Structure formats: structure tokens, C-alpha cells
């Protein structure tokens, strides 16, 4: 097992998931329920499944496309998201 990659994946996903919509949904669900443990296990299972699907899809795509191209596509996607957040979030929130 590549422990460096495991740690890097953990840190990256952990930091990106802090304060996202799924965490807010878990807070809302556990606040309304009498069983926060069930909410924890349900949300943990959902995050595990989505991570598994992402890893499998990433592995399959990596077999088809070169790593450099995948990195370029990911960088472009994040750049587009960043530009949309910077340029269009203020105009949409005032409507």
C-alpha cells in the first residue's frame, strides 16, 4: 500500500469536505432525529460509496487517457469553477 498516497488522499478529501453541503445535511438530519448514530452511519456509508465510485471511475479513465491529460482536464475544470464563483456568484445572489 502506498501510505503517502493514502495520507494525501485523506487530507485532501477531509479538507475539501469540511463545511460542504453533505456535512450541513448531516447536521440538519441529526438535529431533527433521535438517533445521531444512525445519521452518522448513513452519511459515512454514503461518503464511502461515492469515494469508491470516484476511485473506480478515476482508475478506469486513467487506463484510457494519459495522466498529463487527466491533470490538465482536472485543472481546467477547477479553473472554470473558480472563475464562475468569482465572477458570477455576486450577480446571482442579488436576484
pLDDT of amino acid 89: 65
pLDDT of amino acid 91: 54
Dist CA 23 CA 20 (whole Å): 5
Residue-wise pLDDT tens digits, 6-54: 999 999 888 888 778 888 888 888 888 889 999 999 999 998 999 999 9
Answer yes or no: are the C-beta atoms of 63 and 71 closer than 8 Å: no
In what helix (H) or strand (E) does residue 59 lie, and over which residues does it extend? helix 36-64
Answer yes or no: are the C-beta atoms of 51 and 43 closer than 8 Å: no
Better pLDDT: 53 or 58: 53
Give the torsion through C-alpha atoms of 74, 8, 54, 78, to 10 deg. Answer: -20
Residue-wise pLDDT tens digits, 73-85: 989 999 998 898 8
pLDDT of amino acid 3: 93
User: What is this structure's pTM?
Assistant: 0.60
Residue 92 has pLDDT above 80, yes or no: no
∠ CA 71-22-74, nearest 5°, is 10
Confidence of residue 90 (pLDDT cuts 50, 70, 90): low
Amino acid at each position: 500500500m502506498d501510505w503517502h498516497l493514502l495520507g494525501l488522499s485523506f487530507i485532501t478529501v477531509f479538507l475539501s469536505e469540511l463545511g460542504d453541503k453533505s456535512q450541513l445535511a448531516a447536521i440538519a438530519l441529526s438535529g431533527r432525529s433521535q438517533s445521531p448514530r444512525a445519521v452518522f452511519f448513513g452519511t459515512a456509508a454514503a461518503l464511502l460509496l461515492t469515494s469508491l465510485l470516484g476511485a473506480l471511475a478515476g482508475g478506469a479513465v486513467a487506463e484510457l487517457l494519459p495522466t498529463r491529460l487527466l491533470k490538465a482536464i482536472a485543472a481546467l475544470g477547477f479553473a472554470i469553477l473558480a472563475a464562475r464563483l468569482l465572477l458570477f456568484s455576486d450577480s446571482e445572489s442579488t436576484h
